[in-house]
Chain A
C-alpha cells in the first residue's frame, strides 16, 4: 500500500460512514458480521458486487492505498464502537484475518 492521496478526498475519517449498512454500535460483533461489513464496504468502494470480493485476498490487491485504508478503519470504528488502530490492515492484511482478529478483540473489550 503506497502512500498516495488519490482517494483522500473521497473518504474522511471524521465523515459519516459511506457504507450502506446501518451505523450501529456492535461491541460484540462476530467474525462473520465484521467480515460481511468489510465485504460490503470493499464492494461499494471498488464498485463491485459483494460476491466478487475474495476475503482471503490482501487489501492492497484491491488497490486499497493507505488513505483508503484509513477511511475504511475510521468507518469500521464508527460501526463497531471500539477504537481501532490505523495500522490494523497492515498487520491483518485480508478481510478474513482482520475480521477474525477484531472479533477476538471485541470479546476481550466487552
Chain B
C-alpha cells in the first residue's frame, strides 16, 4: 500500500459547505423533485422524457449495476440529498441504506425524510469504518471531491488507490460497485476553469479516465465503462432552464451574486460536456477477491 499521507487532500468540509450548503430551498428551485444533483440518464428520441424520469432511470441504472436489489446493506458515498438511499429502500427492497456526506444541510434534509432504514453519517470516506461489510457500493459524482487541483500525479493516484482499497475492504467478497464520475476529456488539467474550481467548487478536481483506471487497477475489475457526456449536457441545460425560470425566487433566497454564479457554472459546464472538454463516465466494478499486491509493498 502506498504510504503517502492522503488525509485532507480532498475537498474540505468548509469548501463543501460553500457549494452544497447554499440552501436546500435554493436547490429545490431547479433540481427535480427527487433532489438528485448528478447527471441523469435520458431516453434517446423521447420528447416526453422529463428530468425526474431521467434521474430515476439513472438511480435504477446504478442500483442494477451494483447488484444492490434486495441487498441487506448498501453504501452510497457522497449521498447528496438522499435520492439513492430512498430509491434503494422504497423500490429495490434494500434492508439498510447507508450514506456518507460532508454537507450538514444534506444530512439534515435526509434526516427529515423519515426513512428509518437509512443511516447518514456526516463524515469523509477516509474516516468511515463500517461495523459490517456492505453488499454493494454506489458513488455518484463524489470522486471529484477526493483530490484538489494542485496535487501531483503521485499524490492523486495515492488518494484514488486508497479510496478503492477502502471500498474493497468494506465490500463482501465478489461485491459490486457502481461509480459515476466527471472527468477531463479533450482538455488538460492546466486549462481547467479557475472560475469553476475556485469560485464554484473550491478544492475540487476532475480525474482523467486513465487516473481512475490506474487508481482501481488490481483492486477492482472494470466490467463496464460508458461515457454519458451528452446526457450530462441535457441535465445541465434542464437545471439551467429551471433556474432561469425561477430566477426571481432564487435571488430572493440567496441573492443575485449566487444565482449569477450558478447560472454561469451551469452554462459553462453544459458547454464543456457538449464539446467533450469534459466527459461523464459510469463504471461498473467488481471486487477482485485475491488482488495481486502492489510492488511497493
The answer to whether A and B assemble together is yes
On whether the beta carbons of A2 and B191 are closer than 8 Å, the reply is yes
B264: which of A4, A13, A83, A85 is its contact (CB, 8 Å)? A13
Min Cβ gap B268→A in Å is: 6
Min Cβ gap A59→B in Å is: 12
Given known contacts A4-B193, A8-B195, A67-B268, is B274 in contact with A87 (CB within 8 Å)?
yes
Mask of B258-282 contacts with A, CB within 8 angstroms, 1/0: 0110011001101110110100000
A12 within 8 A of B: yes
Mask of B167-193 contacts with A, CB within 8 angstroms, 1/0: 000000000000000000001000111
Chain A contacts of B256 at CB under 8 A? 14
B194 within 8 A of A: yes
A56 within 8 A of B: no
The residue in B191, B195, B256 that gathers the most chain A C-beta atoms within 10 A of its C-beta is B195
Chain A contacts of B274 at CB under 8 A? 87, 90
Q: Which of B83-91, B129-137, B221-229, B239-247 contacts A (4 or more CB under 8 A)?
A: B239-247
Chain A contacts of B275 at CB under 8 A? 87, 90
Bound: A8/B244 CA distance, A: 19
Chain B contacts of A5 at CB under 8 A? 193-195
Bound: A1/B274 CA distance, A: 12
Can you name the residue of chain B whose Cβ is closest to the Cβ of A71?
B264
B233 within 8 A of A: yes
Min Cβ gap A39→B in Å is: 23
Bound: A98/B9 CA distance, A: 44
A-B contact pairs, 26 of them (CB 8 A): A2-B191, A3-B187, A3-B193, A3-B268, A4-B191, A12-B264, A13-B260, A13-B267, A14-B247, A14-B260, A14-B263, A66-B268, A66-B271, A66-B272, A67-B268, A70-B264, A70-B268, A83-B244, A86-B240, A86-B267, A86-B268, A86-B270, A86-B271, A87-B237, A87-B270, A90-B274
Chain A contacts of B272 at CB under 8 A? 3, 66
B-side interface mostly:
helix
On whether the beta carbons of B264 and A8 are closer than 8 Å, the reply is yes
Bound: A8/B268 CA distance, A: 11
Bound: A3/B274 CA distance, A: 13
Bound: A27/B35 CA distance, A: 33
Bound: A14/B191 CA distance, A: 25
On whether the beta carbons of A13 and B263 are closer than 8 Å, the reply is yes
Bound: A67/B267 CA distance, A: 9
Pairs A-B, 9 closest by C-beta atoms: A86-B267, A14-B260, A5-B195, A87-B274, A70-B267, A5-B194, A3-B193, A13-B263, A8-B195
13 more CB-based (< 8 A) A-B contacts, given A14-B247, A87-B274, A90-B271? A3-B187, A3-B271, A3-B277, A14-B259, A67-B195, A67-B268, A70-B264, A70-B268, A74-B263, A74-B267, A86-B267, A86-B270, A87-B233
On whether the beta carbons of A85 and B268 are closer than 8 Å, the reply is no
Can you name the residue of chain A whose Cβ is closest to the Cβ of B266?
A86
Chain B contacts of A69 at CB under 8 A? 271
Can you name the residue of chain B whose Cβ is closest to the Cβ of A86?
B267
Can you name the residue of chain A whose Cβ is closest to the Cβ of B187?
A3
Chain B contacts of A73 at CB under 8 A? 267
Bound: A4/B188 CA distance, A: 12
